[in-house]
Structure 1
Amino acid sequence: MQEKNYAVVGLGRFGSSVATTLYREGNEVLAIDIHESLIEELVDQVSHTVIADSTDEEALKAIGIRNFDTVIVAIGDDIQASILTVLILKELGINQVVAKALNKRHAQVLYKIGADMVVFPERDMGERIAHHLMSPNVLNFLKLDHDYSVEEIKVPRCMVNLNLREIDLRVKYNLNVIAIRTGEEIDISPNPAKVLGAGDVLVVVGANRDLDKFTDLT
C-alpha cells in the first residue's frame, strides 16, 4: 500500500484515533489542535504535531497544509470552527477534505461548502454496536444505502468444510461473496472450490433482508 500524507485537525477522541491509526499503518500524519495539552498526548504517536488555529488561513499556510493529500477535520462541538476550517481548506486547494458532522444540518452545510466526505462517528458506532448485538455472528458491516450492505459474517457451523460452490450463496440467499478472511489473510474474489474453515469470515454483499436471513443461521 502506497504511503500517503494526512493532516488531522482536532484531536479529541475521534481525531486522535484517526491520526494514530493512520500513522500505525505507515502514513505521514500531521496532528493539529489549538490546545497544547492534546498535542502533547500525541507527540510520539504521529509524524508531526503543531499547535494552530485552523480557522486562521495564514496559520494553515504557514504549516504547509497544501502539501497534504487529505485533511480530516475532526473538530468537536464548535460547529462554526468546523465549517470555517473546511471552507478555508477547500479554498486552499486541498484535494480531499473529510469532515466530522454533529448532526444532519451540519453535514448539509459541510457538503455545500465543498467537503468531499462527511462522517458521523458517534452515530455510525452506535449503529455498529446495535447491529452486532442483534446479530452476534456479524463482525462488521458497511451500509451502502438503505437497502444494501456489505457484512463480515462468521462462517455458520453448517457450512464448515464445504466449498463456495456447494453453499451457493448467490442462488440460495441472493448474496455475493466478495472475499474470505482467514486470520489476517484476505482472499479477494475467492475460487468457488475454496473450502471454508471454522474460523473463516465471509465478506458478503447483498440486500439487507437477505443478509438478515443468512445471519440467522447458526
Structure 2
Amino acid sequence: MKVNQFVIIGLGRFGSSLGTELMRLGNEVLGVDRDEEKVQDLSHILTHAVVADATEEEVLRSIGARNFDCGIVAIGDDVQASILATILLKDLGVKKVVAKAVSDLHGRVLERIGVDRIIYPERDMGIRVAHQLVSPNLLDYIELSQQYTIAELAVPQCLSGKSLDDVNPRGRFGCSIVAINKPKGIIIAPVAKDVLTIDDVMVVIGTNVQIEQFQDSIRQ
C-alpha cells in the first residue's frame, strides 16, 4: 500500500482520532494546532506535530504544506479559522483538501471555496446511529450519495444456512451482497453458492429503498 502524507490542521477530538487512525494504516501525518497541550499529547503518535497558527500563509509555507498529498482542516470551534486555513491550503496548491463543517452554512462556504471533500462528523454519525437503532441487524451504514448506500448487516437466524442464491437480494429487491465477512476472513464478490451463517456480516450495496426493503424482509 502506498504511503500517503497528510497534514491535519486542528487536533481536537476529530483531528486527533483521524490522525491516529491514518498512522495506524501506515501513513505519515503532520499535526498542526495552536494549543501546545494538544500537540504534546499527539507528539508520540503522529509522524510530526507542531504548535503553529495555520491561518498564516507563511506558517503553512514553512511546514511545507503544499508538498502533502492531502490537507485536512479539522478545526471545529472557530469557523473563521477553518475557512482561512482552507483558503490558504487551496491557494498553496495542496493536491487534495478535505475540511470538517460544523453546519450547513459552513459547508456551503467550504463548497464555494472549492474543497474536494466536506465532512460533517456529528451529522453523519447521527444518521448512522439512527439507522442502527431502528434496524437491529444493521451494524454500519455509509451513504454514498442521496440514492445509494453501503450497509453492513448481521446475518439473522432466518438466513443462516441459506446460500446467496436462496436469499437472492438482487432478484427480489435490486440490491447486491458484495462481500461476506466471516469469522475466518472476508469473501469479496461472493458467488451464488456461498452460504451464510449466523456469525457472518453481509456487506450490501444498493439504493436506500432497496436496502430498506431487504432489511424489512429479514427483520426479526
Deviations 1:193-212 (A, max 9, x none): 11112111111112223322
Q: Distance in 2 between matches of 1:148 and 1:25?
A: 27
- The residue type equivalent to 1:163 in the other structure is S
CA RMSD of aligned residues (A): 1.4
Q: What is the CA–CA distance in structure 2 between the aligned matches of 1:100 and 1:135, rounded to whole Å?
A: 28
- Normalised by the size of structure 1, how large is the TM-score? 0.95
Instruction: Give the superposition deviation at 1:66.
Output: 1.7
Residue by residue, what CA displacement relative to the aligned partner does 1:19-66 show, whole Å, maximum 9, x if unpaired?
001011111111110110110111111111011110111111111112
Long gaps (5+) in structure 2: none
Please say if 1:9 is aligned against 2:9: yes
Aligned to 2:204: 204
> What SS is found at the alignment partner of 1:158?
helix
> 2:32 — aligned with what?
32
Look up the match of 1:164.
164
CA distance in 2, matches of 1:186, 1:2: 22
Amino acid of the structure 1 residue aligned with 2:82 = S
**SS state of the match for residue 32, structure 2?**
strand
2:191 is equivalent to residue 181 of structure 1: no
Deviations 1:118-141 (A, max 9, x none): 011011111111111111210111
Counterpart CA distance in 1 for 2:55 and 2:12 is 17
Q: 1:155, CA displacement in angstroms?
A: 1.3
Structure 1 match to 2:88: 88
Give the distance between the partners of 1:197 and 1:109, measured in 2 at CA. 47
Structure 1 counterpart of 2:155: 155
Distance 1:187 1:168 in 2: 17
The match for 2:48 is 48
Structure 2: which amino acid aligns with 1:41?
A: D
Q: Does 1:66 align with 2:66?
A: yes
Report the Cα offset of residue 184 of structure 1. Answer: 7.2
The two structures have a TM-score, normalised by structure 2, of 0.94
Is the 8 Å Cα contact of residues 86 and 114 (structure 1) preserved in structure 2? Answer: no
Note if 1:137 corresponds to 2:137: yes
Output the amino acid matched with 1:33: D
Q: Secondary structure of the equivalent of 1:60?
A: helix
Identity, % of aligned pairs? 45
What are the Cα deviations for residues 145-200 of structure 1, in whole angstroms up to 9, with x where unaligned? 33331111111212112211121111122211111112373322112211112111
Tell me the secondary structure at the aligned position of residue 203 of structure 1. Answer: strand
Q: Which runs of 4+ in 1 moved over 4 A?
A: none
> Residue 98 of structure 2 corresponds to which residue in structure 1?
98
SS at match of 2:29: strand
Structure-1 separation of matches of 2:183 and 2:125: 24
